[in-house]
Amino acid sequence: MAGGGRPGGGAAPPPVFPRVGFDLQRPVPFHVWNAGAAAAITFAAPLQFDAEAFAATDGQPHFGHGGRPQMMAAIAGIDPGLYEAALMDGAGRLRRIWHVTVPGMQSAIVVVLILSIGSMLGGGLVGSNFEQSLLLGNPVNADRSQIIQTYAFSVGLAQGRFAFATAVDLIQSIISVILVCSANFVSRRLSGIGLY
């Protein structure tokens, strides 16, 4: 066909919608071209992005299981007669919470606190932030978003240093066990409540 492969000849009209390309050498910016003019949009480039994103998305995965079932079970195990006795003694709602509910939940609070101390090395207080750090991290904010698990993951898989990655994870696990045992010891000394 004549005329550049178009029926009837003539040049192709400029695109109505911009083409979106992805540069594999620099994965952070997305380049948007519209009629020959290039404008770069960087989505995760500011260094402060990761801190706010991690803080905003940290509570959601743990909302249903970050100690909440244990607390509900502890509240359900409190004798209703204690609430009635406090009510007869003239205690208001806040006094009943402070003098009946909180002491009844004390053992559950201590157990959840001890177990959460063991997971502090995972990047968060209620569990591992491996998924967040891996998915929200990029080459621009890697110095602030990389945690021990993502470091071991990248060293083990990307560089093929499986023994080193295993050693890093083993040392982290040993430190976590030491933290749990220390928190249990301190809790036993202070309150008489612990895991074992």
pLDDT digits (tens, 9 = 90+) for 85-144: 999 999 999 999 999 999 999 988 888 888 888 777 765 544 567 777 777 777 777 777
Taking the alpha carbons at both ends of the chain, their separation in whole angstroms is 84
User: What residue spans define the domains of the chain?
Assistant: 59-191
Rounded to two decimals, the pTM is: 0.62
* Residue 121 contacts residue 172 (beta carbons within 8 Å): yes
Q: How is domain 59-191 classified at the CATH fold level?
A: MetI-like fold (1.10.3720)
